[in-house]
Chains A and B, each alone.
Chain A
Amino acid sequence: MAEDIAKICERTAAGERLSVADALALAEGADLYQLGFAANRVRKSKHPQPLVTYVIDRNINYTDICISACKFCAFFHGPEEEGGYVLSNDELAKKIEETKDLGGTQILLQGGLHPDLPFSFYEEMLRFIKSHDIHIHGFSPPEVCHFAEISGLSIAEVISKLKEAGLDSIPGGGAEILSDRVRGETAPRKCSADRWLEVMGEAHLQGMRTTATMMFGHIETWAERIEHLDRLRTLQDETGGFTAFISWPFQPANTALSTVKCATAHEYLRVLAISRLFLDNFDNLQASWVTQGPKIAQTALFFGANDFGSTMIEENVVAAAGVGFRLSEEEIRKLVETAGFVPRQRLMDYTLV
């Protein structure tokens, strides 16, 4: 077994693609150093320059009212509950201007699946934001599917209209685990794995770049994690439209799954490294400082991550689960530098600023 693991690691160093069985063998048998050295080598071959990138942006969650009621979410308000909100244009404008003042280049625009707002609301919101001249990275696939349902349009038509209204790229949220068993148990009302991939495939086809995510550490098995990675890799082979992969552990506090124990830092680094080894057609992997904190996020730069994600001037969803890490651009740059890398601001498509 130990010899098999070493051989699998050697093969990744030679640039060979891992099979699902290889990845499962690593998940079961590889230690932290086997994974770390192999992932770091792949990272270095993809990024020979010692750069670590980050984007300056802000999460804008236009509403927290949501009909999906996913068990792992601490952010939403059900439509019948009090206290839900929908942001006004004035509030949006203020947040955008603050972002631009801090050197921000994009808005990460996501919200709940609101039961009553018409599709035109979202088109108008995009036009309004676009009038402030900023990149809009918005509407994860469950939102796009929701828009298709409420408008009666196809996914392709929805994406085309969103693009026309100003949408620049699509964030990889809502992927959770792309396995219908896991989705059935934790988020039955959210779009299926197939639909999630369909949205991304269609967006790529229409020339839009997107990211991909994985939220692990709830009820899924390692086999389901690898299934998730495999489906992403397959779509990426077809379209090449994913810019980056971002994984983070489920944060159980204040959710319906609050008795689940949060995946540890050790597990996070292993998942990150295996993702780096398996996703050979993804250029960029982000470190999740929002869930892991600055120390582990910095360490993640040696386990496959080459990007520090976003400065997240505002973040609400993870914060709702009681996790409160905050980092300024200056702190991110210092973490990158003291790890021996050069920090560089980037855009959504990874061009350097």
Chain B
Amino acid sequence: MITEEIKRAGFGDILARVEAGERLSTDDAVRLYESTDILAIGYMANLVRERLNGDRAYFIYNQHINYSNICSNLCKFCAFGKPAEDEQAYEMSIGEIREKIRERLDEPIVEVHVVGGIHPELPYSYYLEMLRAIKEERPEIHIQGFTGVEIAHLAELSGKGLKKTLEELIEAGLGSIPGGGAEVFSQRIREITCEKKLSGEGWLEVARTAHKLGLKSNATMLYGHIETIEERVDHLARLRELQDETGGFMTFIPLAFHPRNTEMHDLSRSTGIEDLKNIAVARLFLDNFPHIKAYWIMIGAKLAQVALSFGADDVDGTASEEKITQMAGGEAGQFLARNELVRIIKDAGRVPVERDTLYNVIREYV
């Protein structure tokens, strides 16, 4: 019956390709995005998800450090970045960052996730010191830090080029790169929403350089603002192409735009169907990405749980102190206790797997 229903939805050819393990075309992806037949799309994405990741649903116990919200880019879709003179502007000293790490030494944290604004004044040495300080306080910790946009900024500050800068960051303790700052690669979108930000090509170049140095990274797409379906598919196609070249991406994370407190607050927030579709289409199209994450902080724990049947195999984790979504009116709350995360994953018929940054298994909850 399910096969018939999918054929009736007009996706018989795509189902055949999915079942044969063949790559989908950009036209296929456009057709999927244009449909609202979420059962058909989700079912196919779930086939790929179970083929690649079985019943596993990953999560991580991590700590977020958003070291400063002072930012010279001030993208229109962002509620986090502030000019230096803003009363909400802040930056953490190296000592404060040390203190934040020390405060939570008794928790089984395996990753410190470091993201901040494009600060106009902090020197290159601040970033190297921050990495060294975190490692000194917690030597075994993995630091996933600095989006492609921040890395490109650091390369400018150092004047040493991307490769050398990345080498120095790795030496200071950087373990991998988060997926932020990709937004939508289209030049049209960047000109309208974030003209000062690193270009799409620039972002991809950082990822390429990092991957060649053996540094793994993630990729994101910010959807639900002014982007067209074609621009989404173009974004995914460029990620897939780079992944064919380097194999350095671990996870793709579709990020739902949160309009509140941004310059684009007149737009409405993404709906459940839109969120599920972005996860499912990504799972279907990005055949060379090992993992797709349903970031519960952005879409809520309820939908993230359902997303485990729509292509996602990762829900992020027990994130606390995350500020970027919170500032934009994210309502999912700041903390999901580990036992609650385990419960909702099991209730969705999946096996909860606590992982480290690089997807090494720490514990399976059977």
Contacts and interface: CB of A to CB of B under 8 A. Distances in A.
Contacts of A33: 2, 39, 42-43, 46, 309
A contact face: mostly helix, strand, loop, or mixed: helix
B36 interface: yes
Given A265-B305, A293-B302, A296-B302, A37 B2 contact: yes
B285 to A, nearest CB: 20
B271 A338 contact: yes
B109 interface: no
From B38, B271, B272, B305, residue with most partner A Cβ within 10 Å: B272
Interface in A279-299: 292-299
A98 B37 CA distance: 38
Interface residues of B, number: 30
B268 A6 contact: no
Contact of B300 (A37, A38, A293): A293
Contacts of A2: none
Given A32-B309, A298-B271, A40 B36 contact: no
Contact of B274 (A6, A37, A266, A338): A338
B1 A38 contact: yes
A269 interface: yes
Interface string A259-272: 00100111101000
Given A37-B1, A37-B39, A38-B1, A339 B273 contact: yes
Interface in B224-269: 268
Given A6-B1, A40-B39, A295 B305 contact: no
A40 B303 CA distance: 19
A261 B343 contact: yes
A254 interface: no
A296 B2 contact: no
B39 A302 contact: yes
B170 interface: no
A37 B306 CA distance: 15
B349 interface: yes
A263 to B, nearest CB: 8
A40 B300 CA distance: 24
From A264, A297, A340, residue with most partner B Cβ within 10 Å: A264
B2 A295 contact: no
A266 B38 contact: no
Contacts of B276: 299
B43 A302 contact: no
B22 interface: no
Given A33-B46, A299-B303, 20 more contacts: A9-B1, A10-B1, A32-B349, A33-B2, A37-B1, A41-B1, A264-B305, A264-B347, A265-B302, A265-B303, A265-B306, A292-B302, A294-B272, A295-B271, A296-B306, A298-B271, A299-B306, A302-B39, A339-B271, A340-B273
Task: Report the 6 A-B pairs with minimum CB-CB distance, sorted nearest first.
Answer: A295-B272, A340-B36, A265-B302, A298-B272, A266-B348, A295-B303
Interface of A: 6, 9-10, 13, 31-34, 36-38, 40-41, 261, 264-267, 269, 292-299, 302, 331, 334-335, 338-340
